[in-house]
């Protein structure tokens, strides 16, 4: 059977900084590549690079960073952040990205999913959804959870799958950054409703949290940032512990 | 020289990057028959839709060239599928180098399609897998699979057993992406370069 994947996420701003990493020596573009290479060597199964640049210049720098990553890294990587057109996707594909993730732009114009998937295949399109639970109803959000949309999570993700998304990256904004674990029941329901692989993001604070979302939550992969960046749970330790819990991981 | 067949079938950039990482400098991206025939080794990459890729290969007249090549040829992913008898994807007839059909995975509650991620090779054999142990993980992304046949050089399981690799004479095919499979993938590419 296909192994459960562990995916570190790196935030990049203006091609230079890696967000949320407060140790020295990770300040420029080269270091985003170095950190990715380090994670790959430690056994990360994939990498996700998110461009959090606010400027056109920053976006341009990110594209050249993607080329550097593609030349250096020998595992698959996804890039996301600010992708709002087929041209954006094409530019990142040409730079060597294996997949792109789209979020707000797809909520604004769902056809974007179909356009990119029909041009470059479903394997290239990851639909990222940030959702909040309000009165028992999961609602997709934009702007990092600050703006609620009128799209319900299960209905929206199903539409995304039908439009050609090849994977779902789901973040609960109620859990993100808390380190208290994932909403496993919601993940399990998503997994039952969808046929595409699901990546769980946001909330991991311990090995048990990750083990739970991969088993009880039936997620196919777990994505995390701070636990890896701060060295709280090194990847080799995490994977060995998951393996010892009879979870199928690549060692 | 390694000829990488250029037929507009997806991203070949990652294959080139992987060759450069293992120190291969002498390669060319080409659709020219003379150049392909004159090369030491040939790589047929491929991503996306098998019927579109086959059409693209046919338009360049390369569907009749590839099966007659005498040097080592490696098909990757859809490139491998085009070397089979035919594919359910767009019901296309392929080059028929490997005696097997390409079928679609049936999604089930515990079986995600596409088959995406790292999976274990079972009983890898032959020179391409020199130094690759049984159970080694490699990276797959596909919704269609080649059935197991006498040319199967490594198996994998995703609901059903399927051909992770095929070989027949000088022809080799891998369903997974060696260019994205970490050190194991690099070893496989190195092995191909030594054939």
Q: Is the dihedral of CA B111, B113, B119, B122 positive or negative?
A: positive
Q: Tell me which fold the domain A5-244 belongs to.
A: TIM Barrel (3.20.20)
Q: Are A126 and A166 a contacting pair, CB within 8 Å?
A: yes
Asked whether the beta carbons of residue A94 and residue B13 sit closer than 8 angstroms, the reply is: yes
Mean pLDDT for chain A overall: 90
C-alpha B120/C-alpha B48 separation (Å) is 23
What residue spans define the domains of chain A?
A: 5-244
Q: Which residues of A touch B (CB under 8 A)?
A: 1-3, 5, 40, 45, 70-72, 74-76, 93-94, 96, 98, 120-123, 166-167, 192, 195-197, 220-221, 250
Q: Which member of A3, A40, A220 has the closest CB to residue B137?
A: A3
Residues of A in contact with B114 (CB under 8 A): 122-123, 166, 196-197
Query: Residue A16: which pLDDT band, with cuts at 50, 70 and 90?
Result: low
Å between B56 CA and nearest CA of chain A: 15
C-alpha B180/C-alpha A5 separation (Å) is 14
Asked whether the beta carbons of residue B107 and residue A195 sit closer than 8 angstroms, the reply is: yes
Å between B182 CA and nearest CA of chain A: 5
Asked whether the beta carbons of residue A74 and residue B140 sit closer than 8 angstroms, the reply is: no
Q: What is the DSSP letter of B49?
A: -
H-state helical runs in chain B: 13-21, 33-38, 50-59, 78-81, 182-194
Asked whether the beta carbons of residue A96 and residue B117 sit closer than 8 angstroms, the reply is: no
Residues of B in contact with A166 (CB under 8 A): 114, 116
Q: Are A47 and A64 a contacting pair, CB within 8 Å?
A: no
Asked whether the beta carbons of residue B14 and residue A98 sit closer than 8 angstroms, the reply is: yes
Q: Report the percent of chain A where pLDDT is more than 70.
A: 93
Task: Give the closest residue to B131 by CA, choosing from B43, B177, B71, B194.
Answer: B194
Q: Which parts of chain B register pLDDT below 70?
A: 10
Query: Residue A246: which pLDDT band, with cuts at 50, 70 and 90?
Result: very high
Residues A219-231, mean pLDDT to the nearest whole number: 88
Over the stretch B20-54, which tens digit does the pLDDT of each residue have? 999 999 999 999 999 999 999 999 998 878 998 99
| Distances in whole angstroms, Cα of residue B192 to Cα of each of A25, A26, B2, B31, B43 | 38, 37, 10, 21, 10
Q: Residue A23: its pLDDT value, please?
A: 42
Query: Residue A73: which pLDDT band, with cuts at 50, 70 and 90?
Result: very high
Which domains, ranges and CATH numbers included, belong to chain B?
A: 2-194 (3.40.50.880)
Over the stretch A102-152, which tens digit does the pLDDT of each residue have? 999 999 999 999 999 988 888 899 999 999 999 999 999 998 888 999 999
Provide ipTM, 2 decimals.
Answer: 0.91
Q: Residue A13: its pLDDT value, please?
A: 78
Task: Give the closest residue to A108 by CA, choosing from A140, A133, A62.
Answer: A140
Residues 68 through 97 of chain B touching chain A, CB cutoff 8 Å = none
C-alpha A166/C-alpha A120 separation (Å) is 11
């Amino acid at each position: 059977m296909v192994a459960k994947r562990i995916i570190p996420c790196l935030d990049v701003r203006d091609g230079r900084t890696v967000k949320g990493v407060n140790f020295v020596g990770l300040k420029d573009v080269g270091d985003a590549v170095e950190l990715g290479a380090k994670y790959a060597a430690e056994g990360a199964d994939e990498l996700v690079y998110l461009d959090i640049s606010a400027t056109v210049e920053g976006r341009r720098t990110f594209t050249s960073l993607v080329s550097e990553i593609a030349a250096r890294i020998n595992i698959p990587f996804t890039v996301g952040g600010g992708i709002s057109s087929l041209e954006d996707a094409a530019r990142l594909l040409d730079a060597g990205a294996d997949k792109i993730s789209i979020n707000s732009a797809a909520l604004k114009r769902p056809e974007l999913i179909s356009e990119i998937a029909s041009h470059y295949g479903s394997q290239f399109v990851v639909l990222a959804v940030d959702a909040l639970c309000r009165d028992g109803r999961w609602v997709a959000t934009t702007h990092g959870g600050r703006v609620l949309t009128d799209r319900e999570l299960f209905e929206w993700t199903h539409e995304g799958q039908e439009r050609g998304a090849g994977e779902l990256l789901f973040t609960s904004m109620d859990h993100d950054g808390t380190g208290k674990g994932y909403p496993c029941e919601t993940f399990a329901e998503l997994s039952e409703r969808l046929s595409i692989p699901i990546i769980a993001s946001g909330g991991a604070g311990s090995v048990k949290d990750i083990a739970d979302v991969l088993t009880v939550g039936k997620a196919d992969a777990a994505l995390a940032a701070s636990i890896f960046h701060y060295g709280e749970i090194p990847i080799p330790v995490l994977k060995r512990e998951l393996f010892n819990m009879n979870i199928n991981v690549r060692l | 020289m390694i000829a990488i067949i250029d037929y507009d079938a997806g991203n070949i950039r990652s294959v080139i990057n992987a060759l450069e990482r293992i120190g291969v400098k002498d390669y060319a991206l080409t659709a020219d028959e003379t150049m392909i025939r004159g090369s030491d080794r040939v790589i047929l990459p491929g991503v996306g839709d098998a019927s579109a890729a086959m059409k693209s290969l046919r338009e360049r007249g390369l569907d009749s060239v590839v099966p007659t090549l005498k040097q080592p040829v490696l098909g990757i992913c859809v490139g491998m599928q085009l070397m089979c008898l035919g594919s359910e994807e767009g019901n296309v007839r392929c080059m028929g180098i490997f005696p097997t059909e390409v079928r679609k995975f049936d999604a089930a509650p515990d079986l995600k399609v596409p088959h995406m991620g790292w999976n274990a090779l079972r009983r890898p054999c032959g020179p391409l897998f020199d130094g690759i142990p049984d159970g080694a993980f490699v990276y797959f992304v596909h919704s269609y699979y080649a059935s197991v046949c006498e040319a199967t050089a490594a198996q994998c399981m995703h609901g059903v057993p399927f051909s992770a690799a095929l070989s027949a004479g000088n022809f080799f095919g891998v369903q997974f992406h060696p260019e994205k499979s970490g050190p194991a993938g690099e070893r496989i590419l190195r092995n191909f370069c030594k054939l």
